[in-house]
């Protein structure tokens, strides 16, 4: 009467959708001007990937972080990661949604592993160097920095899935019999 199974042909749309979310998260993290870091106590200092601002109310003095080589490296790594992610998204969409091309799936997995490495390095360099540059109390990492980690974690999970998918070619094409997880008599 009740059966619960996995329909692999319908699941083909989920991975490109997850990569689209990763692209959106990455764009939010890179473009955020409200800051990756903010002062915990007085709310008088915040910094994004691009600049840092000090002040109160409407009187803010902002300076660019791009004069520091570590900030340039973080920006370059995040942007390169986004470019690789967009390429992987396009290839995954073509491989899974337009026509089923199983041979492209490991390529997408490798394409996703590259930005994972780049962005993990960038997301570790930023807090370490920021704390070395400015240590004036306690700072909180904001939602924009969290979106960067969210995109990276999504990419890592999708990378593993894309590398494993070629083993399920018959299921993806709909040629295999559906395996039910639960079946009641």
Helix H, strand E, coil C: the string for the chain is CCEEECCHHHHCCHHHHHHHHHHHHHHHHHHCCCCCEEECCCCCEEECCCEEEEEECCEEEEEECCCCHHHHHHHHHHHHHHHHHHHHHHHHHHHHHHCCCHHHHHHHHHHHHHHHHHHHHHHHHHHHHHHHHCCCCCEEECHHHHHHHHHHHHHHHHHHHHHHHHHHHHHHHCCCCCCEEEECC
Q: Domain span at residue 113? A: 7-28+69-133+145-176
Kindly report the pTM of this predicted structure.
Answer: 0.84
pLDDT in tens, the chain (185 residues): 344 455 666 667 888 999 999 999 999 999 987 778 888 765 778 888 888 888 877 788 888 889 999 999 999 999 999 999 999 999 999 988 777 788 888 999 999 999 999 999 999 999 888 888 776 777 888 899 999 999 999 999 999 988 887 777 666 666 666 666 666 65
Residue 14: inside a domain = yes
Residue 119: inside a domain = yes
**What's the pLDDT score for residue 1?**
37
Residue 1: inside a domain = no
Residue 60: inside a domain = no
Residue 61: inside a domain = no
Residue 2: inside a domain = no
Residue 113: inside a domain = yes
Q: How many domains does the chain have?
A: 1
Residue 185: inside a domain = no
């Amino acid at each position: 009467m009740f059966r619960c199974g996995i329909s692999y042909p319908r699941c083909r749309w989920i991975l490109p959708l997850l990569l689209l979310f990763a692209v959106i998260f990455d764009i939010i993290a890179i473009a955020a001007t409200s800051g990756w870091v903010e002062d915990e106590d007085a709310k008088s200092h915040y910094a994004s990937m691009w600049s840092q601002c000090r002040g109160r109310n409407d009187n803010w003095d902002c300076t660019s972080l791009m004069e520091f080589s570590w900030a340039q490296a973080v920006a370059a790594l995040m942007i390169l990661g986004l470019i690789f992610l967009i390429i992987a998204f396009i290839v995954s969409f073509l491989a899974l949604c337009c026509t089923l091309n199983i041979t492209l799936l490991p390529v997408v997995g490798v394409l996703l592993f590259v930005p994972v490495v780049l962005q993990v390095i960038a997301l570790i360099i930023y807090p370490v160097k920021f704390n070395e540059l400015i240590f004036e109390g306690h700072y909180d990492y904001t939602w924009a920095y969290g979106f960067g980690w969210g995109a990276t974690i999504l990419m890592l999970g999708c990378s593993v899935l894309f590398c494993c998918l070629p083993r399920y070619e018959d299921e993806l094409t709909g040629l295999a019999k559906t395996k039910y997880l639960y079946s009641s008599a």
